[in-house]
Amino acid sequence: MLVAALQPRPGARWLDVGAGAGGVALRAARAGAEATGVDIAAEAVTEARRAAAEAGLDVRFEVAGAEELPFPDASFDVVCSAFGVIFAGAPERAAAELGRVCAPGGSLGLTLMPPASRAAVLWSLLERYGAGVTPHPASWAEAGRADELLGRWFELAVSEHRSPPEPPSDPAEAWASATASFGPLRRLAAELEPARLDALRSEFLALQARHAGRPLRYVLVLGGRR
């Protein structure tokens, strides 16, 4: 959805911030963009490079944080992030970097988690058990916050959307998958004492049950570089 909204064109210089395993950057490259992805997690960058090689796509992936992007000013025609830059520890610095590396007349695209969404509630749960997520990633989607962070550089359009709910999953399998693949939860599972880990598991499963069958909510931010 984010890639389609940004309408990649052949030869466009495209940056995906917080690229994870490369989903956005790889899609942009398939559409002909000259794609680059950065992520602070080295293991994610390794996986993204492997995926690009397997797909035969020429995509550059680098280890870098959103607060200090290793590129000159105005390096990209499109700058985007799918639930990535919202985890930066210094939102103002990260927002300034998005503006700095985007060329005048270029495009911005972000997906954010609304404060009352399942993802935001999950992050609040992890905070209570010591995940240390500061500031809360859902703060980017608070009323007026996107314009406060990004309005100096971009003319913005902010809208909320819903996507179909995920298919039902076995609770035990959902917990096992999350603790294996979701970094913050995996780290907590390794650190917590057994009784506290059991309590976290119970709350996690209750959260999954409360939101089962509900549409997934997200905020889309599109912008044009001033």
CA distance 183 to 148: 29
- pLDDT band with cut points at 50, 70 and 90 for residue 165: confident
Convert the pLDDT of each residue in 45-87 to its tens digit: 999 999 999 999 999 999 999 999 999 999 999 999 999 999 9
Q: Computed from CA positions of residues 55, 58, 63, 68, in that sequence, does the dihedral angle turn out positive or negative?
A: negative
**163: helix, coil or strand?**
strand
Lowest mean pLDDT among 98-107, 140-149, 179-188: 179-188
56 in the Ramachandran plot: left (φ > 0), alpha (ψ -120 to 50) or beta? left
Q: What mean pLDDT value characterizes the chain?
A: 94
| Domain extent for 63 | 2-113+134-165+213-225
118 inside domain = no
107 inside domain = yes
160 inside domain = yes
203 inside domain = no
- Other CB atoms within a 10 A radius of the CB of residue 73 amount to 9
- Residue 33 belongs to domain with CATH number: 3.40.50.150
Structural domains counted in the chain: 1
Convert the pLDDT of each residue in 131-149 to its tens digit: 877 799 999 999 999 999 9
206 inside domain = no
Contact in structure between 121 and 95 (CB atoms under 8 Å): no
- pLDDT band with cut points at 50, 70 and 90 for residue 189: very high
